[in-house]
Structure 1
C-alpha cells in the first residue's frame, strides 16, 4: 500500500465550502506516482507506458479546505495487460472518497495494448490486496 498526503488548496474549494468533485481524480492521479515509477522510473512523459481505460470516483463523505487528505493506494487486480488500482481518500480519519482506475500497458508507437512483463507484474504484486470494494 502507498500512502500520500495531499494538502487541499483554497482554489479547490467550491461555493458550498467543499473540495470540488473534479479535484479527486487529480489527487488520485498524483497518488499513483509510485506505481507509475514501476513503468517509467524518471516519470518522463516521452517514455510513458500506460493509458487509463476507466476511472470511477465514489463520494462517501465531505472534504474541506484546511485539513490534509490521506490517499491510500493499492493494486486490486492484475491482468495480462491491465491492472486495477483502488484508492481511498481520508480526511480527519474519515473515509471521504473511493476511486478505481483501470490502467493498461500500452505501446504508443504500435497503438496497441502490450502484455505486462514479469518484472512489472512482480512490482505490482507487492502491493496487491485481495477482496477490496
Structure 2
C-alpha cells in the first residue's frame, strides 16, 4: 500500500463547506506519483509512458476542510500492458471515498500500448491488495 497525507485547501470546499466532488480525482492523481515513478523514475515528460484509460470515484461520506485526509493506493490487477489501482480517501478514521483507475503503459512514438516489464511488475506487486 502507498499512502500520502494531504491538508484540504480552503479553495477545495463548496458553498456548503464540504470538499467539492471534483477534488478527489485530483487527490487520486497526486497519490499515483509513486506508481508513475516505477515507470518513469525521473518524471520526465519527454519519457512519459502511462495514460489514464478509466477512472471511477465513489463517495460514501462528507469530507470537510478542517482535517487532513489520507490517500491509500493499492495495486488491484497487473495485466500485460495495463494495471488497475484501487484508491481510498480516509478522514478522521473513516473511509469517505474510494475508486479505481486503469493505467496503460503507452509508447507515444508508436502510438500503441506496450508490455509492462518484469522489473515494473516486481515493483507493482509490492503494493497488491
Map 1:63-102; keep pairs closer than 5 Å: 63-102=63-102
- Structure 2 spans left out of the alignment, 5+ residues: none
CA distance in 2, matches of 1:80, 1:128: 16
Partner in structure 1 of residue 28 of structure 2: 28
After TM superposition, list the pairs within 5 Å mapping 1:44-123 onto structure 2: 44-123=44-123
Q: Under a length normalisation based on structure 2, what TM-score does the superposition of the two structures give?
A: 0.98
Distance 1:43 1:20 in 2: 28
Count the aligned residue pairs: 129
Q: Which consecutive segments of 4 or more residues in structure 1 shift more than 4 A? A: none
Deviation at 1:32, TM superposition (A): 0.7
Aligned equivalents of 1:5, 1:96: Cα separation in 2? 14
| Superposition RMSD in Å | 0.6
Deviation at 1:45, TM superposition (A): 1.6
Instruction: Please name the residue that 2:43 is paired with.
Output: 43
Aligned partner of 1:4 in structure 2 is 4
SS of residue paired to 1:101: strand
Structure 1-normalised TM-score? 0.95
What secondary structure, in the 3-state scheme, does the structure 2 residue paired with 1:128 have?
coil
Post-superposition shift, 1:112? 0.5
